[in-house]
Chains A and B, each alone.
Chain A
């Protein structure tokens, strides 16, 4: 396990990105330690893509600081060699084959493991000599990930990489990712809507809503810090004073509160329950869980 003295792979402070009349990201302070697989969660328009692009150096911030691998994202070959970025649209050259892309990667990167791409595609049954535009969405995503990993980056930034994949392909994709992390020296940030997948593969969470960072930290720690309290509708000022109220639903008789604990909760009127990752996320986005654990967050996400 990494020591707490290792410098964080990602460290931002007050990071902002404003356009003419739109704020894409506001005052984002985020830390991602080394070796984590971090889930970047949030509704559409919350700023996930913006944050990833700022980290990769594809966009410049309008305010705040950002340090990736201890330096500012810059047009520097050494920095670019250490990061991998996969945009949501899976940008590949449609008229080129997978083998062509391997060639491009070999010519543009100092570290390039062409064999790993070929091996991976072979195990998935994806042809090397077919034009990429004729491959399915899932196959393109797998190819793109393999190409990104072949760079041997230290940090991988993935924007909704599994959105277009069926459940099996999703599982294979995440397994491949986790394997690469298990080999060591790799940190991953991936944005997604699907909480169930993330819960299994990710151990760190960045939650964005309304262009702001709502939560950032290890998932286990965050879950332990939160609790659901169910009880009668009554005066809850004491609870709200001692702890942070995240989300409350009150009917005529019953109150369901999600709190972030400052110490133990001692109120016998309330039944305490652990918080699942999905509940945590939805709580911060202002909703109550009514759907099963594999719900799509995008169904309740804000419009762009």
Chain B
């Protein structure tokens, strides 16, 4: 059974930390298809996190097709996170390098680029959940 560790100081919101830890556990084989996730109550008892946070995380995972709630039994793993198709990484890395170059030319330093990236990721995530 997976146990969650929430970092209070991280900029990543708690529900996203749970989602990421489930994905990571699946990638590393700690969790596999058919395994049961801890109940909301168990997570809450262990981490003192708000129950709605856990519900939100589990819903996100359900939407990604990774888990499935079964009435009366719990939430079970039904899939693994898919990797990107081959070639995607290098293609994306190239266009990213290009963008970084133009950002540098415009005068942005590393911190500005990072902060811009964070905000864009956040906005994109909000758009997806809306």
The reply, when asked whether chain A contacts chain B directly with Cβ atoms under 8 A, is yes
A182 touches B44 (CB 8 A): yes
Chain A hits for B47, CB < 8 A: 175, 200
Chain A hits for B21, CB < 8 A: none
Give which listed residue, B48, B55, B122, B126, contacts A171 with CB less than 8 A.
B48
Chain A hits for B78, CB < 8 A: none
Interface of B is mostly: helix
B112 within 8 A of A: yes
Interface string of A103-123 (1 = CB under 8 A from B): 000000000000000000000
Least CB separation from A220: chain B residue: B13
Chain B hits for A179, CB < 8 A: 41, 44-45
Give which listed residue, A177, A183, A203, A293, contacts B41 with CB less than 8 A.
A183
Q: How large is the interface on B (under 10, 10 to 19, 20 to 34, 35 or more residues)?
A: 20 to 34
Complex Cα gap A201–B48 (Å): 6
Least CB separation from A184: chain B residue: B51
Complex Cα gap A174–B14 (Å): 16
Which A residues between 182 and 200 are near B, CB-CB below 8 angstroms?
Answer: 182-183, 196-197, 199-200
A274 touches B48 (CB 8 A): no
Complex Cα gap A175–B41 (Å): 9
Residues of A within 8 A of B (CB): 1, 35, 37, 171, 174-179, 181-183, 196-197, 199-203, 220, 224, 271-274, 293-294
Chain A hits for B46, CB < 8 A: 175
A201 touches B52 (CB 8 A): no
A1 touches B55 (CB 8 A): yes
A200 touches B52 (CB 8 A): no
Give which listed residue, A196, A202, A274, contacts B50 with CB less than 8 A.
A202
Complex Cα gap A114–B122 (Å): 46
A199 touches B8 (CB 8 A): yes
Say yes or no: A274-B40 contact (C-beta < 8 A), given A171-B48, A200-B47, A201-B50.
no
A272 touches B52 (CB 8 A): no
B73 within 8 A of A: no
Complex Cα gap A178–B54 (Å): 11
Complex Cα gap A194–B10 (Å): 17
Least CB separation from A172: chain B residue: B48
Complex Cα gap A199–B126 (Å): 20
